[in-house]
């Protein structure tokens, strides 16, 4: 979280703008909260240049709940209830597995054979003519693989809409909405507190919910009710709104907002990748063409040069202890991959990455 956002939330916690109450105490249908939610949506639309024919929905359940809600809302667009999945890491695998409960989840492509260190070339995807949509995870948080351009499905001969899980890189870069039908993500990585899930959906895709879709997660009904079918995650929406304002105020040269963040994120990631690639102790195995700017997994090598996966290995344990002593926290890799992972979300300043790079060099010198 940007420190300025946390400070503002703290300052306004007991009394929001002289209203005599904090945001957590407000009625979600009262004037004050409605103004907060409307401003948040407006700012998100501005930041991501979301076209008018897309709806912005504030929901709950996290991205994993929406791994079910997306098929429950979209699979019924076509009689086959088929969906094409591009498997590029843990999150897209999870999405495909969940979707298979509600329709026919087909695997259009998979990078499993490379240990999810590459992205399958779109020209090789097996897209089906009767699919209700094509799903991909635009940034694989655990494997550190990112789509730097979204595929143009029409050019690949598919007329299905593209669904993206953008949980872990939303607002880190602009989005080409001409290639997207629906984007969804949990807010807790790059936006605000856990509990808010954001869905951006093209209006013509609404209205196909399967009868078993829970009413509060029916995207058409949610859109018609301006995301107020029931009590939304009010405090999370408020803090997300503060983050949106913070983002709008960010500048890099002549650029502002998400364009400014992108420049900053490219520079932050480059600094860390260069340090890893330039060392003989650290290694990142992801194809440079699709390396994530947000999540950078890396391994320390053992004396035989092989990457050390086990976090309990003495060298890994010493690395993590030394990092913690410098205030460099949460560097342990995801348990399914092992090693280390640095997450350079929007709120991580360049100085934080510089501190990590300094530590990498110092640790290597002493190893």
Ligand X SMILES: *Cc1c(COP(=O)(O)O)cnc(C)c1O
Please give the Cα distance from 88 to 144 (Å, whole number). Answer: 10
Number of residues that bind ligand X (CB under 6 A): 11
Q: Is residue 181 within 8 Å of 205, Cβ to Cβ? A: yes
Helices 314-325 and 350-366 pack at an angle, to 10 degrees, of 130
Question: Quick one: how far is CA 169 from the chain centroid?
Answer: 4
Binder of ligand X out of 6, 39, 45, 62 (CB under 6 A): 62
Q: Which window, 46-54, 60-68, 214-222, 354-362, contacts ligand X (CB under 6 A)?
A: 60-68
Is-catalytic flag, 268?
no
Between the alpha carbon of residue 66 and those of residues 61, 113, 197, 321, the distances in Å are 7, 27, 8, 37
Q: Output the furthest CA–CA distance in the chain (Å, rounded).
A: 65
Choice between 78 and 189, CB closer to ligand X: 189
Please give the Cα distance from 326 to 344 (Å, whole number). Answer: 17
168 binds ligand X (CB under 6 A): yes
DSSP 161: P
Is-catalytic flag, 165?
yes
Q: Which window, 165-173, 199-207, 255-263, 340-348, contacts ligand X (CB under 6 A)?
A: 165-173
93 binds ligand X (CB under 6 A): no
Dig out the tokens for 124 from the structure.
Answer: 């090789």
Binder of ligand X out of 167, 243, 292, 316 (CB under 6 A): 167
Choice between 72 and 300, CB closer to ligand X: 72
343 binds ligand X (CB under 6 A): no
Choice between 260 and 344, CB closer to ligand X: 344
- Cβ contacts of 225 within 8 Å, gap of 6 or more: none
8 is in an annotated binding site: no
141 binds ligand X (CB under 6 A): yes
Please give the Cα distance from 343 to 69 (Å, whole number). Answer: 27
91 binds ligand X (CB under 6 A): yes
Please give the Cα distance from 148 to 157 (Å, whole number). Answer: 21
193 binds ligand X (CB under 6 A): no
Is-catalytic flag, 246?
no
Binding to ligand X in span 243-302, by CB under 6 A: none
Nearest to 117 by CA among 93, 142, 99: 142
Binder of ligand X out of 56, 83, 105, 137 (CB under 6 A): 137
Name the catalytic one among 16, 55, 84, 165: 165
Binding site for ligand X (CB under 6 A): 62-64, 91, 137, 141, 165, 167-168, 186, 189
Q: Which residues are catalytic?
A: 91, 165, 189
């Amino acid at each position: 979280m940007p420190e300025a956002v946390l400070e503002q939330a703290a300052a306004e916690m007991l009394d929001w703008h002289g209203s005599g109450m904090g945001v957590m105490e407000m009625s979600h249908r009262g004037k004050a909260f409605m103004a907060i939610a409307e401003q948040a949506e407006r700012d998100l639309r501005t930041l991501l240049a979301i076209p008018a024919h897309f709806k912005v929905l504030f929901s709950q359940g996290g991205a994993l709940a929406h791994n079910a809600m997306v098929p429950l809302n979209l699979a019924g667009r076509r009689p086959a209830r088929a969906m094409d999945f591009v498997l590029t890491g843990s999150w897209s695998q999870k999405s495909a597995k969940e979707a298979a409960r509600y329709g026919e989840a087909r695997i259009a492509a998979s990078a499993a054979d490379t240990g999810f260190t590459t992205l399958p070339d779109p020209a090789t995807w097996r897209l089906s003519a009767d699919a209700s949509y094509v799903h991909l995870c635009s940034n694989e948080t655990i494997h550190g693989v990112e789509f730097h351009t979204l595929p143009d499905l029409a050019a690949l001969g598919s007329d299905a809409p593209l669904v993206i899980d953008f949980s872990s890189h939303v607002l880190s870069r602009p989005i080409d909405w001409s290639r997207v039908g629906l984007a969804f993500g949990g807010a807790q990585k790059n936006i605000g507190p856990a509990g808010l899930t954001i869905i951006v959906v093209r209006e013509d895709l609404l209205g196909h919910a399967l009868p078993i879709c829970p009413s509060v997660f029916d995207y058409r009904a949610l859109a018609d009710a301006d995301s107020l079918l029931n009590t939304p995650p009010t405090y999370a929406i408020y803090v997300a709104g503060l983050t949106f304002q913070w983002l709008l105020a960010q500048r890099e040269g002549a650029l502002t907002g998400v364009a400014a963040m992108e420049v900053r994120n490219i520079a932050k990631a480059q600094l860390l990748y260069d340090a890893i690639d330039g060392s003989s102790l650290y290694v990142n195995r992801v194809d440079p063409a699709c390396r994530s700017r947000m999540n950078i997994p890396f391994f320390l090598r053992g004396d035989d040069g092989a990457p050390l996966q086990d976090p309990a290995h003495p060298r890994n344990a010493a690395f993590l202890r030394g990092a913690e002593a410098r205030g460099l926290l949460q560097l342990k890799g995801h348990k399914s991959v092992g090693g280390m992972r640095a997450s350079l979300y929007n709120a991580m300043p360049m100085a934080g990455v510089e501190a990590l790079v300094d530590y990498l060099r110092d640790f290597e010198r002493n190893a």
